[in-house]
Structure 1
Amino acid sequence: MLSVQRMTPFFTTQEDFQLRLVFAYQYFSIIKGGDVFQFIPSEGKEIVINTKSLQVENLGEVFVFQRGSRFIRLPLYQLLLISDLHIHLTTILEGTMGLETKVETSEIVTLEAISIIEQLEAENKLRMIDYALETDNILMFNELTEGLQEN
């Protein structure tokens, strides 16, 4: 797996609903097998993002990275699949556009989650009571059953 060491756009432009991130030497580097490969703009040098759908539009763009005499050529779609590039893109989008990528959860989902958590906590408490009985731990048993019989 590759990891992105540095990813800073040389400059960004926004046209309608497209954000262009243009990269230059020393602004983009990846790590493969402990070796750092520097981006060289010999083929592709920009990432185009649709700001409405937040999707990368130029997935076929080929990025070239170099370390000494070794070169790595990766299409953008492959770079997105085998690296943590999407995390860096999210950070850039948040900074450039002031986007909040947090997804608003609906009230129904929140209530269901709370209900499931309460159910799991109750089941866990019953398991802990069983464990306290099995190990003859009277103190733990008393603490766990303290408010159980309030009717």
Structure 2
Amino acid sequence: MISVKMLKPYYIKADDEFVRIILAYQYFSVSINKHVYQFIPVEAKEIRINRKTRRVENVESRFAFQKGKEIIYMTMTELITLPDFLTQLHHIAKPYYEEVHEMDEIASENRLILEELEKYNLKRLIDKALDERDEKMFRELVKLL
């Protein structure tokens, strides 16, 4: 049974594309069969997350964990299968995720287009009422403008 005992970033770097969670001694440990293994920065030292997709990008990275003289290596692929790892990781990275405003922009743009189409349709109906000399319909349609 493998679980994450502790996951704290040494520091976090964020650029336009990625959130990089930098790890160091005593900030990351896992429990394997009730034995605690401490992270050691022998190979991989960072977790790289895409700010837009919120996915871990460096899945090929290998992390080393030590207990006494014994060293165990785990790939990022193995680590992300642990639910508590992903939960803690996304909790750490959440303030750095890029907000998705694209859907709001698209919805707003669609709303504007619909309003414009409705206005054109109303004008067309007013023109039709004028052509047919339907004063009652004309007055009701003008009120809607």
Same fold (TM over 0.5): yes
* 2:38 counterpart residue number: 38
Deviations 1:64-121 (A, max 9, x none): 0000111110111111124621011121123x43789xxxxxxxxxxxxxxxxxxxxx
Distance in 1, matches of 2:98 and 2:62, equals 27
SS in 2 for 1:88: helix
How is 1:57-136 mapped onto 2 (pairs within 5 angstroms)? 57-82=57-82, 84-94=84-94, 96-97=95-96
* Contact kept? 2:24, 2:39, Cα under 8 Å: yes
**Alignment identity in percent?**
37
**Compared with structure 1, are the counterparts of its residues 83 and 74 closer, same or farther at alpha carbon in structure 2 (3 Å cutoff)?**
farther
Amino acid of the residue matched to residue 97 of structure 1? Y
* 1:52 counterpart residue number: 52
- Deviation (angstroms), 1:17: 1.7
TM-score, with length taken from structure 1: 0.61
* 1:113 counterpart residue number: none
Amino acid of the residue matched to residue 86 of structure 1? L
Distance in 2, matches of 1:49 and 1:82, equals 16
Distance in 1, matches of 2:83 and 2:75, equals 12
Deviations 1:12-61 (A, max 9, x none): 10111200000000000000111100000000010000010000000001
Over aligned residue pairs, what C-alpha RMSD do you find? Answer: 1.8
SS in 1 for 2:81: helix
Alignment gaps of 5+ in structure 2: 100-145
TM-score, with length taken from structure 2: 0.64
**Compared with structure 1, are the counterparts of its residues 99 and 93 closer, same or farther at alpha carbon in structure 2 (3 Å cutoff)?**
farther
Deviations 1:105-149 (A, max 9, x none): xxxxxxxxxxxxxxxxxxxxxxxxxxxxxxxxxxxxxxxxxxxxx
Q: RCO greater where, 1 or 2, for CA within 8 Å and sep 6 or more?
A: 2
Distance in 1, matches of 2:60 and 2:17, equals 19
**Compared with structure 1, are the counterparts of its residues 59 and 86 closer, same or farther at alpha carbon in structure 2 (3 Å cutoff)?**
same
Q: After the TM superposition, which segments of 4 or more aligned residues of structure 1 sit over 3 Å from their partners?
A: none
